[in-house]
Structure 1
Amino acid sequence: MPGDVPEGEAWRFGTFKDPKITQEVKFSGERRRCKHCLIYKPDRCHHCRICKSCILKMDHHCPWIMNCIGFRNHKYFFLLIIYSMLCCGFIGITVFETIVWSLEQEMPISHRFLLLLCFSTTSIMGGLLVMFAGFHTMLMLRGLTTIEFCEKMSIVTSGTCCKYDLGVYRNITAVFGPRPYLWLLPVDPPVGDGVIFGKQARHRADNDPEWLEP
């Protein structure tokens, strides 16, 4: 799963919990809780009705991979988009060269049709992936998830910094991991526990370096 919600006593209904651990509350000021899982929800955690569980730092439920995108698999989802985009670009370039070559060679009409169909399909999918990657890159650089973007449009459009925005570099490492030379490889996931974010996470990292160990 994208992230396991803590199962400690402090997260169960009816138990005392230090309110300083979490920042997000309901409109009434009460702690956020899930009526399905019967637990208090950490910051940025949401319940997915399809997966029937609470997902840490939930971004969205992806029908293409039949799973939720959350804290522990956000990097791999992002890499899937990047790899697919690069594949479409490679296929489109090579097929276009073949189409140019086919204009000077004799071949059945059906072959030319298939080449054009392949190039058109790849171009459309590549264009959609570029826009999709651009959207998620924008969210990552601002320290937002898709759910937070949809729920807090007024914050985004007004230019107000999200409370989980720690700057461009830290926002990238929160998704791709702490080592830049491994960002484009499906290894070295982000550090942390998926429960504490923003300034609280930075303060804890400064005082407890072991917390950042992958």
Structure 2
Amino acid sequence: RKILNISQGTTSLFWGYLSDLQKQEERGELLQPLIFVLLVLCSLLLYFKVSLMDPGFVKSEEEVEAGKSEEQSLVIPQAPGDVQTRRCGYCMVKQPMRAKHCQLCQHCVRRYDHHCPWIGNCVGERNHPFFIAYLSVQLVVLLWGGHVAWSGLYFEQSWDWLQHNILLLASFLLIVTFTVVVLLLLVSHLYLISCNTTTWEFMSPHRIPYLRHSELENPFDQGVVLNLWRFFCSCHLTAWEKIYFLRSSDPV
């Protein structure tokens, strides 16, 4: 989380330097500076949204019975053969398919992707789209911030110049580093989403029974368009067992 706060903070360190945004502000052209500030604020709001919201914690049977839950509306098809619902050995809840227990959060998370140390929270079925939105906005802020930092640099071969611009130069190098990291992270997530797979499933298919025993390499892949639509446009939790049993002839 500290790393991500640094990446957000570096985008504003160079505001007091001579840059394109400062020149526009001095000329009374406030549109671009205002948009930049709004993007930074949007990035911060999405950060807190993703880090504080429920990523898709699996409810216990007592919690489901105590109140109306969205999980009650999920229709799980009858599994062929002697298939039993997996029960978590840590929190003892019935795990739906694609769920995994997170040791750091101490909860099972639906369609678990990974535990992100940047946000201090799991990325799961509920907050994964917001995580992608956050990465996208953060990437725009970093690219724009890098351009602004570069516009404030006027290179001179003198020690005085380096002393006066060391903070701006360090900010620019940090922004470039974080831009590469966020870009790679966003591209990799979009690729996995287009295939309807998660980071956990992609990295450890040999450790996941429903993937190890399936005749299909990815039993949840329904094509790029439907995968993207289900991820970004579906407002409800998905019964992944239904897709799995329809596409796999050897369910677990």
Could you state the TM-score of these two structures normalised by the residue count of structure 1? 0.68
Contact 2:76 2:239 in 1 (8 A): no
Query: 1:88-99 maps to which residues of 2 (within 5 A)?
Result: 88-99=142-153
1:151-190 to structure 2, matched below 5 A, reads: 151-152=204-205, 161-177=217-233, 190=234
User: How far did 1:148 drift?
Assistant: 0.5
| CA displacement, residues 70-104 of structure 1 (integer Å, 9 cap, x when unaligned) | 1110011111211111111001111112214x65x
The 3-state SS of whatever aligns with 2:153 is: helix
Task: Determine the C-alpha separation between the residues in 2 that align with 1:88 and 1:151.
Answer: 32
Taking the aligned partners of 1:90 and 1:197, their CA distance within structure 2 comes to 43
Is residue 37 from structure 1 mapped to residue 100 from structure 2 by the alignment?
no
More helix per residue: 1 or 2? Answer: 2
Q: How many residues align?
A: 175
Identity %: 26
Which secondary structure state, in structure 1, belongs to the residue aligned with residue 236 of structure 2?
coil
Distance 1:42 1:164, change over 3 A: same
Cα distance in 2 between the residues matched to 1:129 and 1:174? 24
- Tell me, yes or no, if the aligned pair for 1:92 and 1:123 is still in contact at 8 Å: yes
The answer for unaligned runs of 5 or more in structure 2 is 1-53, 66-74, 247-252
Normalised to the residue count of structure 2, the TM-score between the two structures is 0.59
Q: Which runs of 5+ in 1 are unaligned?
A: 13-17, 178-189, 203-214
2:164 pairs with 1:111 = yes
Whole-Å separation in 1 of the counterparts to 2:83 and 2:244 = 19
Larger Rg: 2
State the match for 2:243 in structure 1: 199
Q: Which runs of structure 2 are paired with 1:37-116 in the superposition (5 Å)? A: 37-100=91-154, 103=156, 108-116=161-169
Amino acid at match of 1:172: L
SS of the residue corresponding to residue 61 of structure 1 reads strand
Whichever residue aligns with residue 225 of structure 2, its letter is Y
The CA distance in 1 between the partners of 2:205 and 2:244, in whole Å, is 21
Letter in 1 for 2:243: K
Contact residue 32 and residue 40 of structure 1 kept, 8 A: yes
